[in-house]
Amino acid sequence: MNLSSFTLNYNPQQQQQQQHQLMEFLLLQLLRFSWIAATLPIIISSIPKLNFLRQILLSFAKRGKIMHSTSQKFTVPQKFFLHFYVLASIWTTFLLVATWMYAHRMVPVVAEPLSYSTITSFLTGGSTIRAGSDKLRQGYVAWQAVFLLLLMEAHVLRRLFETIYVFNYSPSARMHIIGYLTGLFFYIAAPLSLCGDCALDVFDCLTNLVTEFIVKGKNQMPVPEIELWLLLNPLNRLGWKHWIGAAVFSWGWIHQYRCHKILGSLRDSRQADEYVIPRGDWFDIVSSPHYLSEIVIYASFVVATGGSNLTIWLLFVFVVANLAFAAVETHSWYRRKFEDYPSSRFAIIPFIL
């Protein structure tokens, strides 16, 4: 009787769903643990009594002009920055296309008239995609991930362009191998964190498509009918918080490009071992405006999700801690290097740091 009852109650589909939820939970916890583990040493090193830890982290973080006068053991050329953005561009593009395909299959949006609930949702920053079922809620999460990955794509493609055409790294500029490996990890984990809530569903969808292609063959695969409106309309129906996030992103994106152009032009206009004080744009306010604008860019992801995504919050905290740590050291280097360095400049955050 007990065995028969167990057999009748056994549901393979339910068990598979539970395993999927467990894997999704573990993936998110792994991402969150990674950001916490990367952030804590930076925060702890700010304690005065733990200056030795700060020196260790500085030895890993130093690069470029700061590395000239230090040991080059376990270092790589700074021009290897290109590897970060090649990897980031390929990985983010893959995640974006895969997530977009999944979202399109999840939510085949049809036109629907505005209703009181729709207007109320929009005015409060919510989505006008109706969430009356689990499938539509999953679709909303997927379309939000598409939106965030689109922003990330715009960011990493611009950084790839700048690394190739704007920056002219000195042959003697180096960075520590730990910093290099950290950069590779960051550009794998950061895009994944933006779509972490639906990443496993996306990979399952992609796996099913590949399996179907292998089983049926190319000739028997259904030809997808793709309409541009159906691909873009759900993005248009996300809440205003997403578009405020996009505006914040654009603000940081534009200023970072301007600051990188300024830094790139300095090397073109000076001798190989000569350094000058950068001026213009946000350089008139802080010593590392390209870091400040990077913080603004990652803050836009928090804004776009309404501050409701813990994984993205932890990603943002790591970016702030890491860049603030590097900016303080850069600011100190500038002040030691130039006697006439503007005293009104802050390291990275105006009026605060």
If DSSP codes are grouped into helix, strand and coil, which group holds residue 346?
Answer: strand
Residue ranges in the chain assigned as alpha helix (H): 2-9, 12-44, 51-61, 81-106, 116-123, 134-161, 177-194, 199-216, 228-236, 240-268, 289-304, 310-337
Count of residues in the chain: 353
How many Å apart are CA 47 and CA 176, to the nearest integer? 24
Contact 45, 329 (CB under 8 A): no
Model-level pTM? Answer: 0.85
User: pLDDT digit of tens for each residue in the chain (353 aa)?
Assistant: 455 554 555 567 778 778 878 898 999 999 999 999 999 998 988 887 777 777 777 777 776 655 554 556 788 888 888 999 999 999 999 999 999 888 887 765 433 333 334 444 544 455 555 445 667 778 888 999 999 999 999 999 999 999 999 987 777 778 888 889 999 999 999 999 999 999 998 998 888 877 776 776 666 666 566 666 666 777 777 888 999 999 999 999 999 999 999 998 887 655 555 778 899 999 999 999 999 999 999 999 999 999 999 999 999 999 999 999 999 989 998 999 898 899 999 999 999 98
How many Å apart are CA 224 and CA 214, to the nearest integer? 17
Contact 95, 153 (CB under 8 A): no
Quote the tokens at residue 111: 């036109």
| Structure confidence by residue, pLDDT tens digits, 289-316 | 999 999 999 999 999 999 999 999 999 9
Q: Residue 228: count other Cβ atoms within 10 Å of its Cβ.
A: 7
Contact 106, 138 (CB under 8 A): yes
If DSSP codes are grouped into helix, strand and coil, which group holds residue 40?
Answer: helix
